[in-house]
Structure 1
Amino acid sequence: MVNLSSIEMESSKTSTLHSVDGRIKIISSLLIIIYAVYTTNLLILLITEIYLLLLILISNISLSYALKRIALILPFGGFIAIFQPFIMEGDVVYTLPFGIDITLQGIDFGMLLMLRLIVCVTAVVLLSSVTPMQELINSARKLGVPREFSMLLSLTLRYIFFFYEELRKIRNAQKTRCFDIWNKKTAYLWRLKKIGETISMMFLRSYEQGEKVYFSMLSRGYSDGSNLYDENKKLSAKDFTFIGITLSLIVGLEITRYFSII
């Protein structure tokens, strides 16, 4: 099952990539995403995806688990790529009933969008799978993310698991009372009412917990000038090696594309 706890457990494993500095992993992921959006060569995108999958295998991450996470995210943008052959003008290769044309340019552009999306999603999944959430926030702060934004993310991270656990308790209590939102035998309006009550209950608990946490922070000296603790960690040879490999891959692919080797 893919949930917050399983994602954090994966990021807490030990491997060569897990031990790389968070700043290097963020920069490397951004470089891959930017290059995937820039390039229009399908073969280059395919090679980049293979590189990311190899990193997943090296990182001691379950490949099936990573592919499941990728598949869960793809539908949110994949439908845009799927519809391109039907909406883009160009050379018609096939005509469907009701006068719907499939164009060659639409197929090419749809494949390009889909491969770009897959590479970008894989890069994000890899980054979140080898870097704990708190380390991501701390690394982003060192890279120049505003203090207020990083503080907000840090507080959100600390209590998102608490609210997730509260929601799980509510859902378990509902199940013990034989409530199932997918049970079509019960009235739709009644199920909708129960869902609304659940959302209201979570909102009230979130508000009450937020008040408690805020007053607790004030009693411990929290103020507008408070800042997150940043560990002064120097980059090692392993960090430079990793980003060097990623840069070499991107530069090498671009050189081969420029000379029309690929």
Structure 2
Amino acid sequence: MGLTWNERMSVGVPLLDSDHKTLIGLINHLHRSIGDEEEYAAVGSVLQALEEYAAHHFVREEKMMEACRYPLLDQHYGTHGGFAAKVRGLRARYDGDPTGVRARECLTFLNTWLIDHICTTDMNYRSWVIGHPGAEAAAQRVSLTGGGRKAVTVDWTRLRVLLVDDNVNFSEILRTILLSVGVTGVSAVHDLDSAKAVISHQPLDILVSDWHVGEESGLDLVKWVRRGPPDQARLPVLILSGHERMTNRDLALMAGADEFMEKPISARNLLLGVARLVV
């Protein structure tokens, strides 16, 4: 059974509550992947997303606590470090042998840790950060996609995305990652005919499609998009595949895709790739 957010978990800071909801969502996708035919790809993607998103969330929390001079900050650093080390260990094992890390094993650790983290450790800083004038501003400056001179600025809240994947759980993993940065305009379909109907009748900013959509090919969808009217033909397309080979990347680009990524996906790389294509 998955985790359910409730108001008793709220730390009173909408930004951090949103982060916690994203972490719960990722863990629930891991739960739903048990026994799925793409369980290994889902486990890899969720572990990568958890590692990246937890790090992002931890920095946000720490920046807020630093701003309000929270006295137990060092203790919190240690808690965050312990979680990060455990997830890195699971990731290292997965990278060495994707079949050696199962969703159930990850869930036992993640469920216990997250509930304890939110309901116990985080509640200690609640009264310090709520209403502090500089705390939330410090957290807002932390971006999952980084910064610097080459940073791409995207108004995520206005983005319209179509996800095409016959694996419903994997589509929801992608939706959760997009939602974490404010993308709410996400449609998800699971066959090419449905994808074509959406593309023909809804304005979109980007198409993200799996290579294999059931018995169909996402490359056929790309070719159909490029043969369409001008607005459709210009639609940015990102192709995902669980079988990374240089020839696959070349085939995807030759078919008309703008970008190609392998599964398991990285949350940060997905967002950076989307950002590059829509700006």
TM-score, normalised with respect to structure 1: 0.28
Higher relative strand content = 2
Larger RCO, structure (CA 8 Å, separation 6 or more): 1
Higher relative helix content = 1
Give the greater-gyration-radius structure (CA): 1
